């Protein structure tokens, strides 16, 4: 039949694959090649930027504002294959650490998993694409309950008197999305209307846990696992149970029967809401899906200040001892010796170059301010004291660390000699620039104090 139609019409047989509203559309499972345009869009941005001229902070801004956004449109509709996420991540990672589209592991200063953690937990806050993809699809699934769009109507037609937990052959795309239904039920509650879009057993429609968790013995005796709340309310619990129940199941049945008896259904549709009873958003799902770690002690010192992003990023690396110091580069076999170029006999770590190198010690003594810590992993312990005003003291310390680090570059890369006069003069000019980020009243109060600290140091040195 098919062959004869091809002969009559004189056409070729091709698989259905087309682009519809910018997304690949096919009857079959999409192949990796179908996602090539998404990767090509990332490449298009990268090739349009003057990569080698961008600083770390500019790259972070571009990753967050542009590269993260490229796959979002596709991720709202599809669960991207792991290899495609990996390919985009490789490009984001290389762009962050080298400003190029490829990089070796030795050039990555911090593991990518760590980079993708929230700043509060010691990461750089760059979005994890895998998690973001899930969050966007969960939002889509949530809209399915709350929406009256043609897509939602079609799905609910297929699932009349049934819950979306039920496996139906509605195609590969739906099967993929359906794999997240369990997460949806874990992360949301249902404000019950007519009960037609709510699972009696798996949704959290009364209290903070689904009935399957509350009554495990009872639910091991049900005949149909995907019954809606509406059906259960209409048919009664008994109609959905096996004839013989264990003693525990009988006890649980009485409690469940009581809950069902109290339930009054409304004429309106069910509404899916967050655990805090708010409207759901993809941001809510993203935060819930992240595996949260303990809060990072250095978070406030590093990020909750008005220092420029380049200073904050540098501080973030220093708190992890991941600055490209001689010690770290020697560990990766990039330089022959781990020793500091300023003092020539101790290993150059972040703590050494910013706190304990004789040059750093002389700098802090010259400005008569002591950070009062023994390691850069403990920057959160720094406290302000006279003559340094307490306001924005983090910016002042980040500036000083930044100056020490740049002074180190002058010695390593341009063969200058260490000089307190030079670093203090650089401090005065940089302080004028950095302080412009504060509001006018803070500038008026702090600029004379900060400049005074550096000027006095120059005067004392003579
Ligand atoms: Zn040193």
- The whole-number average pLDDT for the span 336-360 is 93
Q: Quick check: is 14 in a domain?
A: no
Nearest of 319, 311, 317, 401 to residue 357 by alpha carbon:
401
Q: Do 420 and 375 fall into the same domain?
A: yes
Q: Is the same domain home to 153 and 191? A: yes
122-131 pLDDT, tens digit each: 999 999 999 9
Q: What's the gap in Å between 341 CA and the centre of ligand 1?
A: 6
Cα 342 to ligand 1 centroid, rounded to whole Å? 5
Q: Which of 137-151, 241-255, 323-337 has the highest mean pLDDT?
A: 323-337
Identify which of 330, 291, 284, 333 has the alpha carbon closest to the alpha carbon of residue 114: 291
Calculate how far, in angstroms, residue 340's C-alpha sits from the geometric centre of ligand 1: 5
Report the separation in Å between the CA atom of 343 and the middle of ligand 1, taken as the mean of its atom positions.
4
Task: For residues 101 and 172, state if they share a domain.
Answer: no
Supply the range of the domain harboring residue 53. Answer: 29-126
Domain end call among 79, 111, 126: 126
- Work out the angle between the directed axes of helices 36-48 and 82-98 (0-180°, nearest 10): 10
Which residues does residue 18 pair with via DSSP β-bridges, in sequence order? Answer: 25
Residue 9 lies in a domain: no
Query: Can you tell me the distance from the alpha carbon of 291 to that of 162, in angstroms, rounded to the nearest whole number?
Result: 32
Range in 6-15, 25-34, 194-203, 362-371 with the lowest mean pLDDT? 25-34
How does residue 36 score in pLDDT terms, banded at 50, 70 and 90? confident
Q: Are residues 224 and 361 in the same domain?
A: no
Centre of ligand 1 to C-alpha 359, Å, is: 7
Q: Is 268 part of any domain?
A: yes
142 & 231 share domain: yes
Q: What is the average per-residue pLDDT within 32-56?
A: 78
Q: Are residues 357 and 214 in the same domain?
A: no
Residue 15, domain member (yes or no): no
CA of 378 to the centre of ligand 1 (A): 20
Looking at the structure, tell me whether residues 354 and 394 fall in a common domain: yes
Give the Å distance between the CA of 289 and the centre of ligand 1. Answer: 44
- 336 lies in some domain: yes
113 and 150 together in one domain: no
Give me the pLDDT at residue 53, please. Answer: 77
pLDDT value, residue 434: 94
pLDDT of 159 reads 85
Q: How far is CA 383 from CA 23, 303, 388, 398, 422, in A?
A: 53, 16, 10, 13, 26
pLDDT digits (tens, 9 = 90+) for 384-405: 887 888 999 999 999 999 999 9
Q: Which two tokens stand for residue 221?
A: 């005796």
d(CA 462, CA 458): 6
Q: Where are the alpha helices (DSSP H) in 355-439?
A: 358-366, 393-414, 420-434
Q: What is the mean pLDDT of residues 438-443?
A: 92
Instruction: Determine the distance separating the centroid of ligand 1 and the alpha carbon of 372, expressed in angstroms.
Output: 18
| Helix intervals (H) in 304-344 | 309-319, 326-331
Residues around ligand 1, an ion, CB closer than 5 A? 340, 342-343, 357
Least confidently predicted of 277-291, 325-339, 395-409: 277-291
Q: Is residue 236 part of a domain?
A: yes
- Per-residue confidence band for 382, with pLDDT thresholds at 50, 70 and 90: very high
What spacing in Å lies between the alpha carbon of 314 and ligand 1's midpoint? 19
Q: Answer whether residue 22 is part of any domain.
A: no
Q: Which pLDDT value is given to residue 290?
A: 86
Q: Where a domain ends, among 254, 289, 324? A: 289
Beta carbons of 366 and 461 less than 8 angstroms apart: yes
DSSP state of 320: T
Rounded distance, CA 422 to CA 242, Å? 85
DSSP β-bridge partners for residue 299: none
Domain termination site, one of 262, 289, 316: 289
Residue 264, phi then psi, degrees to nearest 5: -120, 115
The pLDDT assigned to 7 comes to: 82
Is the model's pLDDT at 15 over the cut of 70?
A: no
Residues 182 and 110 reside in one and the same domain:
no
Note the pLDDT of residue 356: 94
Question: Is the domain of 115 the same as that of 221?
Answer: no
Has residue 19 been placed in a domain?
no
Residue-wise pLDDT for 190-220, tens only, equals 999 888 889 988 999 888 889 888 888 888 8
Q: Under a CB-based contact definition with an 8 Å cutoff, are residues 204 and 232 in contact?
A: no
Count of domains observed in the chain: 3
Tell how far the Cα of 386 is from the centroid of ligand 1, in angstroms.
27
Clarify whether residues 67 and 177 are in a common domain.
no
Centroid of ligand 1 to alpha carbon of 358 (angstroms): 6
Q: What is the pLDDT of residues 51-65, one digit of tens each?
A: 767 888 888 888 888
Clarify whether residues 308 and 450 are in a common domain: yes
Encoding tokens for residue 19?
Answer: 């682009």
Distance 361 CA to ligand 1 centre (A): 10
Mean pLDDT, to the nearest integer, of 176-200? 90
- Rounded distance, CA 293 to CA 284, Å? 17
303 closest CA partner among 291, 290, 319:
319
Q: What is the mean pLDDT of the chain?
A: 87
| Cα of 321 from ligand 1 centre, angstroms | 15
Judged against a pLDDT cut of 90, whether residue 377 lies above it is answered with yes
Which residues have a Cβ under 8 Å from the Cβ of 167 and sit 6 or more positions away?
175, 178
Mean predicted confidence (pLDDT) in 347-371: 95
Would you say residue 70 has pLDDT above 90? no
Q: How far is the CA of 339 from the centre of ligand 1 (A)?
A: 8
């Amino acid at each position: 039949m098919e062959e004869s139609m091809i002969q009559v019409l004189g056409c070729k047989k091709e698989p259905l694959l087309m682009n519809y509203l910018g997304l690949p559309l096919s009857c079959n499972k999409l192949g990796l090649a179908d996602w090539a345009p998404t990767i090509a869009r990332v490449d298009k941005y990268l090739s349009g930027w003057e990569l080698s001229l961008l600083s770390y902070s500019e790259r972070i801004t571009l990753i967050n504002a542009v590269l993260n956004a490229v796959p979002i449109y596709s991720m709202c509709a599809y669960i991207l294959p792991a290899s495609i996420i990996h390919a985009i991540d490789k490009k984001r990672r290389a762009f962050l650490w080298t400003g190029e589209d490829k990089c070796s592991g030795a050039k990555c200063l911090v593991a990518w998993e760590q980079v993708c953690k929230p700043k509060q937990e010691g990461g750089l806050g760059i979005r994890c694409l895998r998690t973001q993809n899930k969050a966007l699809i969960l939002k889509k699934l949530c809209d399915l309950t709350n929406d009256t769009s043609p897509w939602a109507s079609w799905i609910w037609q297929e699932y009349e008197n049934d819950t979306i937990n039920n496996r139906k052959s509605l195609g590969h795309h739906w099967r993929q999305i359906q794999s997240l239904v369990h997460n949806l039920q874990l992360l949301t509650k249902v404000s019950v209307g007519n009960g037609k879009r709510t699972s009696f057993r798996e949704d959290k429609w009364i209290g903070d846990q689904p009935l399957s968790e509350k009554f495990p013995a009872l639910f091991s005796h049900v005949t149909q696992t995907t019954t809606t709340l509406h059906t259960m309310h209409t048919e009664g619990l008994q109609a959905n149970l096996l004839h013989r129940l264990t003693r525990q199941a009988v006890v649980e049945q009485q409690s469940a029967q009581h809950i069902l008896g109290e339930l009054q259904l409304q004429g309106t549709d069910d509404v899916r809401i967050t655990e805090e009873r708010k409207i759901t958003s993809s941001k809510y799902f993203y935060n819930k899906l992240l595996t949260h770690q303990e809060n990072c002690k250095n978070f406030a010192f590093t990020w909750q200040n008005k220092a420029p992003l380049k200073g904050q990023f540098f501080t973030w690396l220093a708190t992890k001892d991941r600055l490209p110091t001689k010690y770290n580069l020697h560990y990766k076999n990039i330089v022959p010796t781990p020793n500091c170029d300023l003092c020539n006999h101790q290993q150059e770590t972040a703590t050494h170059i910013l706190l304990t190198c004789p040059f750093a010690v002389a700098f802090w003594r010259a400005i008569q301010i002591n950070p009062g810590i023994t390691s850069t992993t403990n920057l959160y312990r720094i406290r302000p004291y006279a003559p340094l005003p307490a306001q924005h003291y983090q910016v002042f310390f980040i500036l000083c660390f930044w100056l020490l680090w740049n002074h180190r570059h002058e010695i390593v890369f341009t063969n200058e000699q260490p000089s307190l006069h030079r670093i203090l003069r650089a401090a005065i000019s940089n302080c004028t620039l950095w302080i412009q980020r504060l509001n006018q009243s803070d500038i008026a109060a702090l600029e004379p104090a900060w400049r005074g600290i550096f000027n006095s140091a120059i005067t004392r040195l003579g």
